[in-house]
Amino acid sequence: MEDLPDALLAEIIKRVTERNDLNSLSLVSKRLFAIEAEQKECIHVGCGLCLKTEELVSLFSRFTSLWKVEIDYAGWTPSHGDQLDNHDLFVISSHCPSLTDLTLSFCSQINDSGLGCLAYCKKLVSLRLNSLPEVTSNGLLSVAVGCNSLSGLFLINCEEIGSAEWLEYLGWKGILEKLVVKKCKGISQYDLVKFGSGWTKLQKFDFEMKSPWGVHSSCEYGFDPMYNAHNPTRYDFCCESLKDLRLAHFKAGTDVGLRFILGKCKALEKLCLEYVYGLNDNDMIVLSESCHNLKSISLWLKPVHNDDLDGDGFRTAFTDNSLKALALNCPMLEAVKLTFADCDTFYPSEIGFTQKGLVVLMQSCPIRALVLNGANFFDDEGMMALSSAPLLQKLELVDCSEITDVGLLLIARSPRLINLTLRLCELVTDVGVVELVRSQKLESLIIEGCRRVSEQAVLGTGRSVQYSGETASLGEVKRIYPLLYV
């Protein structure tokens, strides 16, 4: 070992991934101890680590190449000992000159004073703050002013952050490429508009408010007949670099708020709209006309009140007109996920999409992955149409009440389908699954909560098989079987 060059020893250490093995290896000799320290790039601090200041200095001074630090106190109780506090964060930031990625989760002893210490981290690129009850807008403003290399900011469940002054400052600097704001009740969609010219450089944006369960079906969250997405927006800044967009759990304002993004992100590749109320087909049409590079779309929808409809007047916001617009304008669309919640099985009209509209989309775009959740309009006839989809490789059906064994017999003929997931499909039985076994095309099969399918029927269906009599969300342990045929 003493004759081996340092570069070779470093390469050996890189290939040892288990923490216990690395600890044992570094105890063999001082040379290995030093090389292991030089190679260490990431460290995780959690419950149970209670170090005095000099011990903390010694620990972080040892790892000169450390660029990623994660401090996570999820599940912490007083019995675990003291958490790291503001002074400890100062020690870490001042002894990690290469620190570029920092995560602080459930750190109740860190406040604005602690965040101010991050000004020492001149190379800090990414900052994640998750459930920090003592951090306010003042602390975030100090980060905005002091961290000139910051390009990714992730805020999750930080309820005391409210004022948008830090956001305006970051927008003026124009350095952020990723911005995630989830469940921060003091930050609204109207605050985020103040990001201003910062939108120009942003590549990833994720905004989620706390879920408005219990009021989603009221007129307040229903269809907005007064809004026309084709009219010019009052905001003149653009989002031409935005590639990844997720909006969740809020009502889109008629003329103000985050609705403006949908018509301005020409580079968009990935879109997720999760229970965003107040949108209509015009929003999707305008978006599709701008986003010709769109590759993935995920829509989570619930029936909302619509005065233009007869009867009880409830329906999901988008219709086949949206699917038609995507089919015409998005030639690169590869992945589609449609989730429908609170839609009655006996009332397919509560869903604005029809099977015909979905088939048109599948035939017009190079769809490789399709997920349907709660699609009560989709039946075996739709499965027949999917069986001829030339590029479809992955299909996931969840709570699709009209799918039967006939549909499985048809989808077994699909030319490229290799990954199939069935969850809570009540009418599927062993008969249909046996046909999948005979086809021997699947590389993976997941069956959960399909009570008429037995464990014996799925054996030999694919290289990886996961079976559960109940859904995974109910805590059922999955059993995975190897390929049983050659």
- Residue 311: pLDDT band (50, 70, 90) is low
Residues making up the chain, counted from first to last: 486
How far apart CA 219 and CA 224 sit, in angstroms, is 9
* Strand bridging mode 204-208 / 244-251: parallel
Mean pLDDT of the 121-133 span: 96
Q: How many CB atoms lie under 10 A from the CB of residue 389?
A: 22
Judge residue 433's burial from the number of C-beta atoms within 10 Å of its C-beta, 0-12 exposed, 13-18 middle, 19 or more buried. Answer: buried
- Of 190-199, 205-214, 338-347, the range with the lowest mean pLDDT is 205-214
- Range scoring the smallest mean pLDDT among 54-63, 91-100, 173-182: 54-63
What is the mean pLDDT of the segment spanning 41-58?
82
If DSSP codes are grouped into helix, strand and coil, which group holds residue 152? strand
The proportion of the chain whose per-residue pLDDT surpasses 70, expressed as a percent, equals 82
Confidence category of residue 347, pLDDT binned at 50, 70, 90: confident
Give the start-to-end residue ranges of the domains of the chain.
1-39
Predicted TM-score (pTM) of the model is: 0.86
User: For residue 200, what pLDDT is reported?
Assistant: 93
SS3 of residue 113 by DSSP = helix
* Token pair of 210 as six digits: 């706390």
Q: What percent of the chain has pLDDT over 90?
A: 60
How far is 95 from 63, CA to CA, in rounded Å?
A: 9
Q: Is the four-CA dihedral 366, 369, 373, 376 of positive or negative sign? A: positive
Q: Which CATH class is domain 1-39?
A: mainly alpha
pLDDT tens, position by position, 172-202: 999 999 999 999 999 999 899 889 999 999 9
